[in-house]
Structure 1
Amino acid sequence: MMYLSMIFFQIVAPILVLMFIGALLQKKFTFNLKTMSQLITFCFMPAAVFVNIYETSVNKEVLGQITLFIVLFIGSQMMLSAFIAKAMGLSKTESAVFKNSVVLINSGNYGIPVAQMIFVTQPIGVAIQVILVIFQNMTTYTYGLYNLISSTKSGMAIVRDFLKMPIVHALILGSLMNMLNIPIPTMLRIPLDYIANGFIAIALLILGMQLSQIEMRTMFTKTIFVSCFTRLIIGPVVALGIIYALQIDGVVAQSLLIASAFPTSRNSSSLALEYDIESATAAQTVLFSTVVSCITVTLVIYAATILFPI
């Protein structure tokens, strides 16, 4: 019960509060959500990803083990979600959103605070989450973006749309400047930090605006239930199998198992809104999985401490 209340009030509740504020603002002012989404996609999101990648220092001793786990885990989620989407007979657009909802995880504003709360005396637990954020960002704007674009376009149109995304440029530029240790001039770094720091709040406000236009009863669909069950239940089970197979233990095993249980990333909803592809379903899935995760993540945290004692 202690874990449940801490996770809800320190992690989930603030997220829900921002969504609620966004919903109230949308009801009062009726913002153009397409324009708001473009503000996120072409301004706030690239800045946040660039700063995140530029500032992260990776522990090379742990990186190899973590990288192998991430590749196996994300790969298994891609194959599993594709199989389930096909078995359910989803359309191309529905399938794209469903697969993104399973594969793309909220490792940033959900995962890092959870890690900071759990691994107070074990900094490596938080460092692992930062590494996972980088991999999730790369997955989001490669696999996730390709999923959505390819559901409505084909051939070179996919490549052109992909290369137009500023987030792709931010990933490349941030990685290069990190590796080459290139400093950022103060006159650029200060506004960049301002924009990056505003990303989470703006993204969640816009998600709340999306949700304000949705009837709550429409959230309880088979697709959303299956998506959340796959993300929140099957995901950790698969992760546990990979951890045992790779013989990972201790803090690293705890951190990876807990990370596998986080809810669907809000970025899956932001991208769906930007490309106008099943955006309502994407937003509903993010909300539903975030709320349910306050219970499932608590159980996984408890299981991680029992299975992998420090």
Structure 2
Amino acid sequence: MEYLLIVFVNVITPMLILLAIGVVLQIKFTFNVKALGNILTYCLIPAAVFMNLYHTVIDIEILLDVLMFVVLFTTTLIITGHLFSKFLRLNRQQTAVMKNSIVLINSGNYGLPVSQLVFHANPLGVSIQIVLIVYQNLLTYSYGLYNLVSSTQSGKDIVKQFLRMPIIHALWLGAVLNLANIQLPQFIELPISHLSNAFIAIALITLGAQLAQIKVKTLWNRLIYLSAIGRLIISPTVALLLILLLRIDGVTAQSLWIASSFPTSRNSSTLALEYDVESELAAQIVLFNTVASSFTVGVVIYLSSLLFG
């Protein structure tokens, strides 16, 4: 119970406050939510991802240990999302949102604070979470972006969309500068850092503004709850089985299992808004996942301490 309270107070509550601010501001001023989404996609997200890759020191040994797990884990979730969509007979746009909601994880502004809280006395747990953040960034703007774009476009248009996305260039540029140990001049790094720091607040306010436009009846959409089952229940179950199968133990096992239980990535909603693909459904899924995870994540944290602590 203590873990549930800590996670809710320190992680969920600040996020809900920013969402509420977005709702109130949207009701009062009626923002152009699409324009806010463009600011996120073409400015703030690339800056945040670039700074993440540019500054993170990735331990190669940890990366190799985690690599097999994340590949098997992601592949299983992709298959799960595909089966969910086929079973429910969803259209292409709903299928894209459903797949992303199960596969894409909020490893950044949710996962990192939780990991810092749980592993405050063991830096290895936080280091693994940073590796997972980088991996999720790559997955979001490859697999996740492809899902959304392919639901409305095909072939050559999809390739063009990938090449035009600033996030793609931010990913490789940040990685190259990191590996080459190239130091940016202060006058360049500082404004990028400011944009990166603004990302979380603007993203959550934008999501709140988006939620303010949603009709109450959409709260009863079955896809919201089915996606939560996939992300919050099936995902950690699959992760635990893989951890046991691969005989991973200790802090690495604990960190991977906790990371598998985090809610749907907020970026899945941001991208859905940008490409106008079931954006209301995507926003509702993120909101419900985030609130529900305050209980499910706490349970996984507690069980992981018993099994691998």
Provide TM-score, normalisation by structure 2. Answer: 0.99
The CA deviation at 1:220 is 2.3
For residue 295 of structure 2, what is the aligned residue in structure 1?
A: 295
- Bigger shift: residues 63-72 or 105-114: 63-72
For structure 2, the 5+ residue unaligned runs are none
Which stretches of structure 1, 4 residues or longer, exceed 2 Å deviation after superposition?
A: none
Q: Please give the residue correspondences for 1:9-48 in structure 2 after superposition, counting only pairs within 5 Å.
A: 9-48=9-48
The CA deviation at 1:58 is 1.1
1:285 aligns with 2:296: no
The CA deviation at 1:41 is 0.3
Q: Distance in 2 between matches of 1:11 and 1:215?
A: 27
The CA deviation at 1:236 is 0.2
Deviation per CA, 1:39-73: give whole Å up to 9, x if none: 00000000000000111111122211111111111
For residue 231 of structure 1, what is the aligned residue in structure 2?
A: 231
For residue 129 of structure 1, what is the aligned residue in structure 2?
A: 129
Amino acid at match of 1:297: V
SS in 1 for 2:109: helix
Deviation per CA, 1:73-114: give whole Å up to 9, x if none: 111111110111111100000000110000010000000000
For residue 212 of structure 1, what is the aligned residue in structure 2?
A: 212
Q: Distance in 2 between matches of 1:101 and 1:127?
A: 25
For residue 254 of structure 1, what is the aligned residue in structure 2?
A: 254
Q: Distance in 2 between matches of 1:256 and 1:20?
A: 31
Q: Distance in 2 between matches of 1:149 and 1:69?
A: 28
Q: Distance in 2 between matches of 1:112 and 1:30?
A: 32
The CA deviation at 1:217 is 3.8
Deviation per CA, 1:142-193: give whole Å up to 9, x if none: 0000000000111100000111000000001111111111111111011111
The CA deviation at 1:250 is 0.5
For residue 264 of structure 1, what is the aligned residue in structure 2?
A: 264
For residue 67 of structure 1, what is the aligned residue in structure 2?
A: 67
- Bigger shift: residues 207-216 or 265-274: 207-216
For residue 275 of structure 1, what is the aligned residue in structure 2?
A: 275
Q: What is the RMSD computed on CA atoms of the aligned residues?
A: 0.7
Q: Please give the residue correspondences for 1:35-114 in structure 2 after superposition, counting only pairs within 5 Å.
A: 35-114=35-114
For residue 7 of structure 1, what is the aligned residue in structure 2?
A: 7
The CA deviation at 1:283 is 0.1
Q: Distance in 1 between matches of 2:254 and 2:210?
A: 35
- Bigger shift: residues 57-66 or 20-29: 57-66
Amino acid at match of 1:22: G
Amino acid at match of 1:4: L
Deviation per CA, 1:202-257: give whole Å up to 9, x if none: 00000000001113342222111110001000000000011011111011100000
Amino acid at match of 2:191: P
Amino acid at match of 1:171: L
Amino acid at match of 1:78: I
For residue 175 of structure 2, what is the aligned residue in structure 1?
A: 175
Q: Distance in 2 between matches of 1:2 and 1:63?
A: 32
Q: Distance in 2 between matches of 1:105 and 1:203?
A: 16
Q: Distance in 2 between matches of 1:258 and 1:151?
A: 31
Q: Distance in 2 between matches of 1:272 and 1:62?
A: 33
Amino acid at match of 1:167: I
Amino acid at match of 1:95: T
Q: Paired residues, what number?
A: 309
SS in 1 for 2:158: helix
Provide TM-score, normalisation by structure 1. Answer: 0.99
Q: Distance in 1 between matches of 2:304 and 2:69?
A: 16
SS in 2 for 1:160: helix
Amino acid at match of 1:180: A
For residue 195 of structure 1, what is the aligned residue in structure 2?
A: 195
Q: Distance in 2 between matches of 1:219 and 1:231?
A: 18
Q: Distance in 2 between matches of 1:23 and 1:214?
A: 10
Q: Distance in 2 between matches of 1:266 and 1:75?
A: 21
Q: Distance in 1 between matches of 2:6 and 2:216?
A: 26
